Amino acid sequence: MFRLTSEVDPAFLASMLDEAIHWDPDIPRRPLAALLQTEAGRYVEDWGRPGDDALVALARDEEPAGATWVRFFDPARPGYGFIDAATPELSIAVARAYRGRGAGSLLLGGILGRARARRVPRVSLSVHRENPARSLYERFGFTKVDQRGDAWTMVVDLGAVR
């Protein structure tokens, strides 16, 4: 039903960042431009830096349905799921209209495979403890290593995942 592409439009990544942050429909939204001016904007600013990698899921009609990306952060400007400068942080989102159809699994498996091929030893992420996507991460081998408020930092060891 979906196919993956590594052709990534940074504007689409920004819209998927907005989806990822607003996973719960009750979370009040702010305009995307305002969101990108917050700390969250660092997940997509200056996209295409060394180490940046992303995949987009396309639906049958070639409409972008979701995206996942990994990015390394500097300890001076860490991401929310920061572990260390050698561990990229994963972001992922699927547009509401396409959720529950396997796009998330396809995206996550694809980006972890690409990271493994690049010999990245592990990948981290941050997820709200009540976000239903947490179970997807756990199926792919992510484990909780820290908690800050309601957010969990999770890590997957790519050497241990088959």
pTM: 0.93
Which H or E run contains 18? helix 10-21
pLDDT the model gives residue 160:
65
pLDDT the model gives residue 150:
94
Give the separation between CA 5 and CA 88, rounded to whole angstroms: 20
pLDDT the model gives residue 142:
97
Provide the residue-wise pLDDT of the chain in tens; the chain has 162 residues: 798 999 999 999 999 999 999 998 888 888 999 999 999 999 999 999 999 999 999 999 999 999 999 999 999 999 999 999 999 999 999 999 999 999 999 999 999 999 999 999 999 999 999 999 999 999 999 999 999 999 999 999 998 654
Task: For residue 92, give the nearest of 104, 102, 82, 83 by alpha carbon.
Answer: 104
The CATH topology of domain 3-157 is Aminopeptidase (3.40.630)
Give the separation between CA 41 and CA 38, rounded to whole angstroms: 6
